[in-house]
Structure formats: C-alpha cells, structure tokens
Amino acid sequence: MNTGYKPNEYTGDRPGRFVFVFSFFSISLPLASKPLTISIDKNHNGDVLSLISRTGTLLLAISILAGLAIAAEEDKGYTINLGTNENLGSYLVNETGFSLYYFINDPGNGTSTCFGDCIKSWPAFHAEKIIVPESLNASDFTEVIRTDGINQTAYKGWPLYFYYEDTAPGDVKGHGVNDLWFVVSPEDFIIIEA
C-alpha cells in the first residue's frame, strides 16, 4: 500500500485514481478565471464526480445565458431607433445611430421638395423594413417613391433625410440649418397641415 499518496499525481496502486484539471478559460466569467483542480480518491469518488457534473452544468448554463443576453442586446435589429441629446431630447436615428431630419419646406404628405444640390447635402433615408423599439409605432413610417425614382422613408408623411456633415453617430449638425431642417422628435412632433 502506498502511504505517500499525493493528490496531484497518479500513484498506480489503484486504476482510476487521477487528477482532473478543468480550465474554463474560454468563458469570460470571473468565477471561471482560475483552473479548478479536483482530486478523486477511493473514499469520495461519487461526491467529487457529482460536484464535477453540477459545476460543469452550472458553468455551461451561465455561459449559454450570457451568450444569449449579449446576442439579444446586439441583435435587436432596429432600422429606426431613438437617439438622445441633452439639448434636443429624443430624436429619430437610423440603425447605426445617425440622425434623421425633416425639411420644413416639404408639404408633409409624403412628397419631397429636395432635389439637385439639396439631395446631395441631404441624402434621402430609406429603410427596407421598418423595425422600431416599443417606444415608436411602425405604422407612423411609410415608404415613398420620389419623382427622381429614389425610395425614401417618411415619418407621419414627412420624408426623412441624413445630413452630409454628420460624420459620426449622434451628430446633429443639421438641426436648425437655415431654420428649415430639424431632427425628428417623436414626443413633440407637430403635424403641419399642408
């Protein structure tokens, strides 16, 4: 009989007496940042195997839930969303966070009066599919075909545009230009009768 048994080595006197090391480095959770070392000896085989099974199941469940939560957060897939600005409040943005504007000279009936040089500075926004958060109503958005053949999305009859000087998500450089262009704030958006 071997009386110098060390938990980190196989002594050879009993088949099946091994040290199992589990390194869960592929899961980025604080509780899995260090290797878990478990020794199995002849007195506690069942208890340790049960612990291994429960621990493995728990870590697998945690990693699956964390992955699902991250995927759900990243994959909301909104084509139109709300951005916020401390001066302007909430306003419409596209799926990547770029501001959407309306032109006060448009009649508000789904037609655009922005052509030529205007459309170069204020490109038409178009969403193939309208997917919005619960705070917005998808039925407020319509697709219009402009007289130049470009498809454009409108909000409550007002065609939506980008501004060419907005170079990053959250930019609102077009708001108030010539007192004609404004971000769309759904909370206090007033429909002007044509």
Q: Where a domain ends, among 74, 108, 141?
A: 74
Given a cut of 70, whether residue 188 has pLDDT beyond it is: yes
What range defines the domain where residue 166 resides?
80-188
Given a cut of 70, whether residue 99 has pLDDT beyond it is: yes
Confidence tier at 12 by pLDDT (50, 70, 90): very low
- Within 8 A by CB and 6+ apart from 95, the residues are 77, 78, 79, 80, 81, 127
What percent of the chain has a predicted confidence (pLDDT) above 90?
56
Q: Is 177 exposed, middle or buried (0-12, 13-18, 19+ CB in 10 A)?
A: middle
pLDDT for res 66: 59
* 102 DSSP β-pair partners: 182
Residue, of 6 and 37, whose pLDDT is higher:
37
**Secondary structure element (H or E) that encloses residue 33, with its range:** none
Q: Within a domain: residue 114?
A: yes
Phi (first) and psi of residue 159, to 5 degrees: -55, 145
pLDDT for res 44: 54
- Same-domain status, 170 and 90: yes
Report pLDDT digits (tens) over 111-144: 999 999 999 999 999 999 999 999 999 999 999 9
Rounded to an integer, the average pLDDT of 161-180 is 96
- Same-domain status, 48 and 125: no
- Same-domain status, 104 and 160: yes
* 99 DSSP β-pair partners: 93
144: left (phi over 0), alpha (psi -120 to 50) or beta: beta
- Same-domain status, 32 and 94: no
Confidence tier at 192 by pLDDT (50, 70, 90): very low
Confidence tier at 42 by pLDDT (50, 70, 90): low
For the ranges 14-23, 85-94, 155-164, 175-184, the lowest mean pLDDT is seen at 14-23
- Same-domain status, 89 and 136: yes
pLDDT for res 19: 42
**Three-class SS state of 105:** coil
- Same-domain status, 111 and 29: no
126: left (phi over 0), alpha (psi -120 to 50) or beta: beta
Given a cut of 50, whether residue 74 has pLDDT beyond it is: no
pTM score, two decimals?
0.61
Instruction: Give Cα separations from 190 to 81, 102, 117, 128 (angstroms).
Output: 19, 12, 27, 25
Given a cut of 60, whether residue 31 has pLDDT beyond it is: no
pLDDT for res 13: 44
